[in-house]
Amino acid sequence: MIKINLLPVRAAKKKETAVQQLTIFGFGILVVLAVTLSMYFIKGMQVSNTKDDITTANAKINELKKKIGKLEELKTLKDQVKKKLDVLSLLRANKAGPAQRLSTLSGITPEQLWLTAYTESSSEVKISGLAVNEDLIATYMRSLEASVDFMSVELVVSEQNVTAGTKLKKFELTCKLEPLKAQVVTPKAVVASPAAAQAAQTK
């Protein structure tokens, strides 16, 4: 009877199986490492690209801020120019408005009649003054009506007034003109002077 010892064969098979398992396990680890490294490099590239995008975006934002700053400067300059133009327009309007009307008043004011106050409020005008008699007041009213600056002249007050011992007629007129900013002016050239009134009365 022949006996065959199978133990060495079995041991060899076990050894071979163990080697195969170790090989498969090692290959699996390599695959996992390869995948992990690949993901790491991919994520690294994505992070790098994202950082580049952020840097580019920040550069564009800074550039836009500079442009916005320049636009704000231009807007400020525009507002300043507009204010200056408005002031210039107002000065021109005043030059052609109240100043011109005061010149008209000075030109049509007869002797022995003196203005004490001139007030503009919107389209309404009030004129106060003193005159030697009522005829001068009537003449002055007709001159106002004939001027290009005033219309609808009406006598509101006409009363006796004594100034520095001289009897004069105190009067107040109203008339209309184009709407302008309200202002009160006392013309220096035609302000009533009691001494002058007395001198005129003696002539």
- 113: CB partners within 8 A, 6+ apart: 129, 130, 131, 132, 136, 137, 140
- 55: CB partners within 8 A, 6+ apart: none
pLDDT at residue 151, rounded to an integer: 87
Task: Answer whether residue 194 is part of any domain.
Answer: yes
Each residue of 55-108: pLDDT tens digit? 888 888 888 888 888 788 878 878 877 777 766 555 555 555 677 778 888 888
pLDDT at residue 188, rounded to an integer: 43
Task: Answer whether residue 167 is part of any domain.
Answer: yes
Residue 28 or 16, more confident? 28
Each residue of 108-148: pLDDT tens digit? 888 889 998 988 887 788 999 999 999 999 999 999 888 88
Rounded distance, CA 142 to CA 195, Å?
Answer: 27
Q: Domain span at residue 162?
A: 97-202
pLDDT confidence tier of residue 3, bands split at 50, 70 and 90: low
Q: What's the CATH code of the domain at 192?
A: 3.30.1360.100
Rounded distance, CA 144 to CA 136, Å?
Answer: 12
pLDDT at residue 170, rounded to an integer: 92
Task: Answer whether residue 13 is part of any domain.
Answer: no
Task: Answer whether residue 88 is part of any domain.
Answer: no
pTM: 0.43
Domain count, the chain: 1
Rounded mean pLDDT, 46-51? 85
Sign of CA dihedral 76, 77, 78, 82: positive
For residues 151 and 145, the answer to whether their CB atoms sit within 8 Å is yes
Task: Answer whether residue 44 is part of any domain.
Answer: no
Mean pLDDT for the chain overall: 77
The C-alpha angle 2, 4, 5, rounded to 5 degrees, equals 145
pLDDT at residue 195, rounded to an integer: 47
Closest Cα partner for 175 from 98, 102, 111, 121?
Answer: 121
For residues 114 and 199, the answer to whether their CB atoms sit within 8 Å is no
Q: Are strands 113-131 and 166-185 parallel, antiparallel or unpaired?
A: antiparallel
pLDDT at 6 over 70: no
